[in-house]
Amino acid sequence: MRNFFYICAKLLGFSLFKILFDWEIKGKENIPRKGGFIIASNHLSYLDPPIIGIASPRKVHYLAKSSLFQIPVLNFLIKIYGAIPIEREKEYSISIRKGIEILKKGEGLVIFPEGTRNPEGNIEMPKKGVSFLAYKTGVPVIPTKLKGTEKALPKGKKFLKPAKVKVIFGSSIKVENNDYINQANRIMKIIKELN
């Protein structure tokens, strides 16, 4: 039943975004057809998770603040879209455990390595979680760049605005050593260079 709701929500979201946005998706063929994978993306807006979820040809999961699950309608929607609750004070350890669990089941996980929204578009120093998860599970990382979502849903605003939105899925890369900070920096450098 949840898969049915997910498909309906994805079709509805795609139709809505097609009407609202002049949007382009590049590199969908870089998403693996099977097995676990990480989409590592820059983070411009609260709109980024659903945009990536709708653009991805495979279902993906997100880690979301547990407080979001206390809002009745939002709770329903974010669960359909694959969100998993985490407690703020235990965020890192729970994120890592949940992330490993998702990836080992052969599913997709979206990570924003910067750890927070950066609506100015300057790609900031990443946290090492993305490279740690990729190394520990052996899954590929799909560097992904978002453009325009900060204009479609600006910081502090509640309503969507027409905008040009672009999602670029880059070629997959492997994290082959446990120098997590350097590997995370390498991923962010690739994201920055995507066009």
d(CA 174, CA 156) in angstroms, rounded, equals: 36
Confidence class for position 174, pLDDT limits 50, 70, 90: very high
What CATH number is associated with residue 104?
3.40.1130.10
Confidence class for position 108, pLDDT limits 50, 70, 90: very high
Query: Which residue in 145, 144, 141 sits closest to 128, CA to CA?
Result: 141
Q: Domain range spanning residue 183?
A: 2-193
Residue 64 corresponds to which tokens in the numbers above? 């979301």
50 close to 82: Cβ distance less than 8 angstroms: no
Predicted confidence at residue 90, as pLDDT, reads: 58
pLDDT tens sequence across 43-52: 998 888 888 9
Residue 68 has pLDDT above 90, yes or no: no
AA identity, residue 8 = C
Burial of 156 (0-12, 13-18, 19+ CB in 10 A): exposed
Residue 7 has pLDDT above 60, yes or no: yes
The number of domains in the chain is: 1
Which residues pair with residue 146 across a beta bridge? 167
Nearest-10 Cα torsion for 115, 68, 47, 122: -20
Confidence class for position 138, pLDDT limits 50, 70, 90: very high
